[in-house]
């Protein structure tokens, strides 16, 4: 009679589990109590340890996309969703999606929106938008809260875009202004007029609550200076003929010089705003003081 096969310890199963996808890890946890129950001498089960190793293999930026308090299997599942190529999953009438959902194109004069499905809840995210076509009146690009619904009619019957939403913070590709809750807000001292083929990139930092804008690789500054919280989704508002392509990018480092430049530009915007006040507004402006005025993006 042959000898019994050698006993395989948990180490070999953990190694295998570290290469399984989320669905297979779930099946492993259900296959036997040995793979799903935490041992007295361990903090994690075999399935959980396999998921933890896969999460730990990602960069610190990517690990920051999920809440540290979630179970490891749920963290891995959310990361796998967020690591997929960016794509629009929901759009209003007249918006055509192409290139695996990464391109949104609008036909028709009424503004409509397209949004990505993945919700951004924490960490630092970087999205690149390429202007394929400005169309008749361009469009907006940015982030919006999960309650926003594309194609929902506003007063007057026209569709309300993400830029009209209280949880929408959108960059206007025509002149660079911030579109938020239906208002147009000047947030930088210079006027930017992107051209067809240009790239606008957004750096969303949900730890700091900020949204920075880059044009052709050059940092323009903080469009939203604070107060942003997740969940948020990438979104675009499009006019007739406009087309925008979205792609994920590697978040650029933010240097001390970048922060100093952001503050300098913000001070210039406040100074420009104070110069526009007439004499009747002088007393009210003096009550706030230049540094005490609410930031352009509203906090």
Measured distance CA(53)–CA(295) in Å, rounded: 42
The reported pTM is 0.81
The two beta strands, 168-172 and 178-180, are: antiparallel
Q: What b/e string do you get for 138-148 counting C-beta neighbours within 10 Å, with b at 16 or more?
A: bbbbbbbbeeb
**Domains in the chain with CATH codes:** 10-82 (no CATH), 88-248 (2.60.120.920)
pLDDT digits 0-9 by tens, 217-259: 999 999 999 999 999 999 999 999 999 999 999 999 999 999 9
Helices (H) and strands (E) in the chain — how many of each? Answer: 8, 14
Whether the predicted pLDDT of 99 surpasses 90: yes
pLDDT digits 0-9 by tens, 141-157: 999 999 999 986 555 54
Higher pLDDT among residues 64 and 151, named by residue: 64
């Amino acid at each position: 009679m042959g000898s019994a096969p050698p006993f395989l310890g948990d180490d070999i199963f953990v190694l295998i589990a570290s290469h399984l996808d989320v669905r297979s890890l779930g099946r492993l946890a259900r296959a036997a109590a040995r793979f799903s129950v935490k041992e007295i001498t361990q903090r994690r089960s075999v399935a959980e340890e396999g998921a933890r190793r896969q999460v730990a293999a990602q960069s610190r930026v990517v690990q920051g996309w999920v809440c540290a308090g979630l179970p490891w299997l749920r963290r891995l599942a959310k990361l796998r969703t967020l690591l997929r190529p960016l794509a629009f999953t929901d759009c209003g009438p007249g918006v055509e999606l192409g290139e695996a959902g990464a391109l949104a194109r609008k036909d028709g004069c009424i503004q409509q929106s397209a949004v990505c499905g993945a919700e951004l809840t924490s960490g630092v995210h970087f999205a690149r938008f390429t202007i394929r076509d400005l169309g008749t009146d361009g469009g907006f690009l940015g982030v919006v809260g999960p309650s926003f619904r594309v194609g929902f009619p506003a007063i007057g019957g026209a569709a309300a875009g993400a830029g009209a939403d209280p949880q929408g913070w959108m960059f206007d590709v025509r002149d660079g202004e911030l579109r938020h809750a239906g208002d147009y807000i000047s947030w930088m001292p210079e006027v930017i007029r992107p051209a067809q083929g240009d790239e606008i990139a957004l750096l969303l930092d949900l730890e700091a609550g900020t949204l920075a804008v880059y044009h052709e690789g050059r940092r323009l500054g903080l469009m939203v200076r604070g107060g942003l919280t997740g969940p948020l989704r990438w979104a675009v508002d499009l006019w007739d003929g406009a087309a925008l392509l979205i792609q994920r990018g590697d978040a650029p480092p933010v240097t001390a010089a970048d922060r100093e430049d952001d503050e300098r530009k913000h001070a210039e915007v406040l100074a420009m705003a104070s110069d526009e006040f007439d004499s009747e507004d002088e007393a009210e402006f003096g009550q706030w003081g230049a540094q005490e005025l609410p930031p352009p993006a509203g906090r």
